[in-house]
A = this chain, B = another copy of it.
Amino acid sequence: MNKAQTLYELVWMSRPLMQAAEACVERGLTDTGLTVRMRAVLEMLLAHGAMPVPEIAARLDIQRQYVQLMVNETLASGFTVQQPNPRHKRSPLVGLSDQGRELIRDITQKEMDLMAAMGAGFSDAEVASALRVVHAVTAKLKTLAGEAE
């Protein structure tokens, strides 16, 4: 099979891969009270600290109105708390509660353990190379899709 065909297959594998990953993540969330989208909020806050809703939206590349819903859910469940925002009185910072921090740390750690187990069959170089290719392909597709007509 030539390179173009292989790339074609790689691109079309993105959907099955994503679906399998989502199913796996979802499975890891059972009995935690979290949904996949709430998890995304917590992960963002763990990685980058407390921030207002519009910033979460920008980083996740999702509409802020939708992120607002996601954040509201995490607030209602007590995984996040609002903190005064020195830079904006109307838009509080959303930060992890102790409960939320512990939970998301636990979850991501378990996911990482899974990845470690899954990497058994590959070399570091293979995996790193695969990531580079996927990154590059994604970037190129994005520029193509976004071109002016």
Which residues does A use to contact B, with CB under 8 Å? 1-18, 20-21, 23-24, 26-27, 111-116, 118-119, 121-122, 124, 126-138, 140-142, 144-146
Q: Which residues of B contact A144 (CB under 8 A)?
A: 24, 27, 114
Asked if A122 and B11 sit within 8 Å, CB to CB, the answer is no
Asked if A8 and B112 sit within 8 Å, CB to CB, the answer is yes
Cα distance, A23 to B23, chains bound together (Å): 23
Cα distance, A111 to B4, chains bound together (Å): 10
Asked if B24 and A141 sit within 8 Å, CB to CB, the answer is yes
Q: Which residues of B contact A21 (CB under 8 A)?
A: 11-12, 14, 141
Q: Which residues of B contact A133 (CB under 8 A)?
A: 122, 126-127, 130
Query: Closest residue to A7 on the B side, CB-wise?
Result: B115
Partner of A129, one of B14, B111, B119, B130: B130
Query: Closest residue to A9 on the B side, CB-wise?
Result: B131
Asked if A7 and B118 sit within 8 Å, CB to CB, the answer is yes
Q: Which residues of B contact A135 (CB under 8 A)?
A: 13
Q: Which residues of B contact A118 (CB under 8 A)?
A: 7, 137, 140-141
Cα distance, A6 to B122, chains bound together (Å): 12
Q: Which residues of B contact A115 (CB under 8 A)?
A: 4-5, 7-8, 11
Given that A127-B133, A129-B126, A138-B20 are known contacts, is A116 also in contact with B14, CB under 8 Å in the complex? no
